[in-house]
Amino acid sequence: MIKAFLKQDTLRDLYEKLDLYHDSLEAAKTQEELSFRDSMIYEVTCFALPMLDDYFADNLFSMANYQRYRSIIEACTLLSLDSDPDFHKVNSNLLETNFNILRNGIYSDIIPNYIDEKELRKKYEIAKELIEFSLEKDRYHSAGVSLEKVLSQKFPILLGRSFLESIRFFLGYIYENIYIRSGEMIHLIDYRDLSDKYSLTFFNDVTRMLIGLINQYEWNREIKTREKLPNSARQVKKVCLNEFFAVESTILKIENKCGKCFVSKALSELIKLEKSVCNSLLKMRYYDLNSLFKVALEWIVNVDSLTDSSSHLINFNFDAEISKLGKVEREFKFASMKRNLITPNLNWQNKSLVEIVDGFIDSSKKNVKKYCGLSNKDYIKVKYREAKAISHGNGYLALLDESGYALDKELLLNINDLLKETISKLSRVLSSEIDLTVEEQIIIEALNQKYTLLMKL
């Protein structure tokens, strides 16, 4: 077990309290509208519990936890902002408005059959009016901020306030740094930046903040009755062990031949993400599975972009790629590190992350199966958009109905298929340099077995 700053007993006590609060608030939110405070504490528990699940399963260094650190800080910042009288009076009343704006953005171009489009657009128009009215009321904090800018932000509820300044003021510089760094780490980046030392330090600081937060509150509410975990879900973990062993063997072969490189590190990160998915499945934290789909898909996309040649795949070096660019392109690239992604694919530099992921889906998936009234391609696209919204501590989960917390078997099956395609492509491209035939067979067999088990869920 990785040694954290806090004692095991302290962490287990924190876990039990978070679990209690999560269950009681989840039960409450099916019967009543949660207060702003309770909504944000609920958001905190949604990200803190799977983070601790990974810690106790010795998977702390999963990239999934960087996403959770960021989301916990976001939720804690919004919770702290509520102590500001101005925010409490104007902004905290906009949680549902915030939700309806984000929801409209998810389904702006793809509408699954579980969404009533007419109702969606109607609520969005009402939300726009409320934001416009609120901007007038909050001129001191929102001076010079346009309605369009607020509607396009990840946190419309802030009405244009600086999120980083809010983190710095309420939580301090340490948490601002964790937030910025975590945001960089969960996007597509150069392998040399993926250092485990950050995760342990961040985990220690975030858990200490959680203890300080959670000890302020007490609940005496109904606990939601938990459903029983299907037997096939328990068997998934055993099957995954073969997959992990074979991927680790693949990494070893690549590094013995080529040294540490982007693709070997990317495979290592995918294993950790798979373990996070498995842990959340076993704990029935299905909302977390939807959130993790974002990170897993983006990493698969980036690895796939390198597979046009074995030389490119093995020898990719970010510094070398940057040096090929002209001055203007180079400046754009370095600016994009803070706001979007660092990528091996230089053709992506003028595209958004959504455009990049959509392009990968269009090129890699057949447009055949129907899920929720959507083709296979559109289903994955809409799930990616949902994952982007869920992966922030913005109050979205607190207002999501029961359908958002149900097991999405098709999502897990799609992750499985994408992993299988990625491994087969890597093996094929590297065949002239490294023989991965045995490893590929073991991985594919494990993924096929997992597919069968997931079908039984």
| 165-186 pLDDT tens trace | 999 999 999 999 999 888 877 7
Residue 50 confidence (pLDDT) = 97
Tokens of 381: 């696209």
In a domain, 167, yes or no: no
Residues 183 and 277 in one domain: no
Top pLDDT among 354 and 174 is at 174
Mean pLDDT of 316-323: 62
Q: Is residue 164 part of a domain?
A: no
Is 168 inside any structural domain? no
| Residue 150 and residue 8 share a domain | no
> 368 and 396, same structural domain?
yes
With cut-offs at 50, 70 and 90, classify the pLDDT of residue 334: very low
Residue owning tokens 């984000």: 102
23-37, 127-141, 334-348: which has the minimum mean pLDDT? 334-348
Give the CA distances from residue 30 to residues 223, 387, 391, 402, in Å, rounded to whole numbers and listed in that order: 12, 22, 21, 8
Residues 97 and 77 in one domain: no
Residues 389-427 have pLDDT tens digits of 999 999 999 999 877 788 888 889 888 888 888 889 888
- Answer whether 236's CB lies under 8 Å from 454's CB: yes
- Asked if residue 147 has pLDDT above 70, the reply is yes
The answer to whether position 226 is within a domain reads no
Tokens of 189: 């980046």
What is the total count of domains within the chain? Answer: 3
Choose from 124-133, 216-225, 358-367, 371-380 the range with maximum mean pLDDT.
Answer: 124-133
∠ CA 287-291-296, rounded to 5°: 135
pTM: 0.91
Question: Are residues 115 and 198 both part of a single domain?
Answer: no
* Domain shared by 399 and 293, yes or no: yes
Mean pLDDT of 160-165: 92
| Class of residue 409 by CB neighbours under 10 A (exposed 0-12, middle 13-18, buried 19+) | middle
Write down the pLDDT at residue 282: 92
pLDDT (0 to 100) of residue 338: 38
What's the pLDDT tens digit per position in 47-102?
A: 999 999 999 999 998 989 999 999 999 999 999 999 999 999 999 999 999 999 99
In a domain, 190, yes or no: yes
* For residue 310, pLDDT beyond 60: yes
Buried b (16+ CB within 10 A) or exposed e, 270-291: bbbbbbbbbbbbebbbbbbbbb
Question: Do 252 and 313 belong together in one domain?
Answer: yes
Last residue of a domain, one of 158, 186, 203: 158
Q: What share of the chain is helix, strand, coil (3-state, %, to 5)?
A: 75, 0, 25
Query: 119 and 207 share a domain?
Result: no
Could you tell me if 440 and 369 lie in one domain?
Answer: yes
In this structure, which amino acid lies at residue 285? R
Q: Which of 40, 44, 55 is nearest to 17 (CA)?
A: 44
Residue 224 maps to a domain: no
Query: Do the domain assignments include residue 169?
Result: no
Q: Is the domain of 113 the same as that of 132?
A: yes
- Determine how many CB atoms are found less than 10 A away from the CB of residue 203: 25
- pLDDT confidence tier of residue 339, bands split at 50, 70 and 90: very low
Q: 361 and 263 in one domain?
A: yes
Helix (H, G, I), strand (E, B) or coil at 284: coil
Same domain, 34 and 112: no
Q: Express as a percent the part of the chain with pLDDT over 90.
A: 49
Q: What is the DSSP letter of 285?
A: -
* Plot region of 383 (φ>0 → left; ψ -120 to 50 → alpha; else → beta): alpha
Q: Which domain holds residue 99?
A: 91-158
